[in-house]
Structure 1
Amino acid sequence: MRWCVSIGAALVAGAMAGGDVAGIAAPNPGNQLGHQLASKGADPSVDVELILAVDVSYSMDMDELALQREGYAQAIVSREFLQALKTGPNGKIAVTYFEWAASGDQKIIIPWRVIDGPETADAVANEIMKTPIRRASRTSISGAINFAMPLFDESPHRGLRRVIDISGDGPNNNGSPVTAARDAALEKGIVINGLPIMVKEPSYSTMDIDHLDFYYEDCVIGGPGSFVVTIKERDKFKEAIRTKLVLEVAGRMPERPIVPVASKEPRVNCMIGEKIWQDRWGR
């Protein structure tokens, strides 16, 4: 089962204010040793191998890109995040952070790092913030997923879970179909969570679509306990990122899901981005 959560909902407000991670979420059914561990032939050394895949396409304005960077950096050093670290059997995670745009445009900002407390969290946050912000053309969620999958094999750490966390403000419009990439990741036991950014009204001059949250739920995310946290207000940007990372690190999912994902046909055409691009530019 996969779920969507609006950051405006009262999902975490009280519990996060009190620092009670367990109070904000129910156990994630994917929080267990997967077949990937057996295939790697190693005991888990971290609770989760987490890939942060961050959209830097031109549809993101500079203010959004800055908020996104600050959001991840501040989330990693937050009290809630550090408390979530303590809930796992190993008390540490492995994380890598890369930015993406077109199908062949991905840039690793943070190679695999272990976060096991305030000092290592500070080091990763500082590394995120010191890298110059960039923008690039096109939006290839499938390219991001395809780039992320082999990073798990390159990781020197072994986790109880493997999670790709994808943020973005538009649908896939470049590269292979997003559902093909998603399904390939799910076959490897990887969970994909989504952070759709919906702070602007859809415009013909951009690749924005209505119901980007539905698109992410039905076409992008997948795996046991996968979920979406939607950003619909600019001033909730950082809170949303923190909420999502806390849930992922703690290996939990929303306690009171808002919208269950459709079990049959997608509510939004999973090729809508490619169609819009073709209709507007003919290529």
Structure 2
Amino acid sequence: MRRWLWIAISLWAGMAQADCRQALALGLDVSGSVDEREYRLQLDGLAGALLDPEVVAAFLTMPDAPARLVIYEWSGPTSQRIVQRWTEIRSREDLAQIATRLTNTGRALREPSTALGRSKAFGATLLAQHPTCWRHVLDISGDGESNTGPRPQDVTPPGVTINGLVIGGDGQETEVSALSAYFRTYVIQGADAFVEVATGFDDYQSAMSRKLKRELTVLVLSRNP
């Protein structure tokens, strides 16, 4: 009897552990093209987006199958830093704690180059730590094309949807259009993948809010086998 009870508890624990509807990794561009003001706008903008009431509601829409979130910074081939470790989002307080961490995070030394391919590989490695989640999504924010490391089009992790958040120069419509096309061609992947656009770092919070709402409200019809 005790043996069967132990088996039942073990099976229940395994099923509970698997109840994660989405693993979401956010990669933030901190390369040399991002100055101190823009760095602050990016982290504070993400913090504000996580507290957007509609984003909060999207995170909490399936309490029995919460989403899990990790946030990292990236620049050159060897410059990646996790600023928020994996956290299961079960309440608004979880998001508030992450927002506070982001607003208190200062810039660290980093390579000035832009290694989008390496950023994709790093994010995919983080997502692989949660194989039981039903969906795996990687978001990469960036204000420029890759100029070092593996080409982004050569890094195609299986089973991962990769979306982009393009940050354009303020008022530079042609630049935003060209960078958006670059991300659509070489960075994003997956049937539901898309590129969101921030016209500048001042618009980052609004763009991030739109992107998170779109990603988190994807209807999960069934679990992946």
Please report the TM-score for the alignment, with normalisation by the length of structure 1.
0.66
Q: Secondary structure at the match of 1:54?
A: strand
Query: How many residues get paired?
Result: 202
User: Sequence identity of aligned pairs in percent?
Assistant: 29
1:218 pairs with 2:185: yes
Query: CA offsets per residue over residues 6-38 of structure 1, 9 Å max, x none?
Result: xxxxxxxxxxxxxxxxxxxxxxxxxxxxxxxxx
The equivalent position to 2:106 in structure 1, one of 107, 132, 153, is: 132
Match of 1:75 in 2: 49
C-alpha displacement at 1:75, in angstroms? 1.1
Query: CA offsets per residue over residues 39-82 of structure 1, 9 Å max, x none?
Result: xx967322210000110001012221111101111111220111
C-alpha displacement at 1:209, in angstroms? 8.2
**Runs of 5+ unmatched residues, structure 1:** 1-40, 203-207, 253-283
Output aligned runs, 1:199-238, within 5 Å: 199-200=169-170, 211-238=178-205
Decide whether the 8 Å contact of 2:41 with 2:202 is kept in 1: no
1:120 pairs with 2:87: no
**CA RMSD of superposed structures (Å):** 2.2
Please give the alpha-carbon distance, in whole angstroms, between the structure 1 residues aligned to 2:22 and 2:62. Answer: 9
C-alpha displacement at 1:246, in angstroms? 1.4
Q: Once superposed, which parts of structure 1, at least 4 consecutive aligned residues long, lie more than 6 Å away? A: none
Please give the alpha-carbon distance, in whole angstroms, between the structure 1 residues aligned to 2:25 and 2:134. Answer: 14
**Between Structure 1 and Structure 2, which shows a larger proportion of helix residues?**
2
1:243 pairs with 2:218: no
Decide whether the 8 Å contact of 1:47 with 1:89 is kept in 2: no
Please report the TM-score for the alignment, with normalisation by the length of structure 2.
0.82
1:191 pairs with 2:166: no
Match of 2:8 in 1: none
86 and 109 in structure 1: CA distance in 2 versus 1, 3 angstrom threshold: closer
Output aligned runs, 1:34-183, within 5 Å: 44-88=18-62, 90=64, 92-134=66-108, 136-155=111-130, 158-181=132-155, 183=156
Please give the alpha-carbon distance, in whole angstroms, between the structure 2 residues aligned to 1:242 and 1:133. Answer: 23
- Larger RCO, structures 1/2 (Cα 8 Å, 6+ apart): 1
Q: Which amino acid counterpart does residue 151 of structure 1 have in structure 2?
A: L
Q: Secondary structure at the match of 1:64?
A: helix
Q: Which amino acid counterpart does residue 243 of structure 1 have in structure 2?
A: R
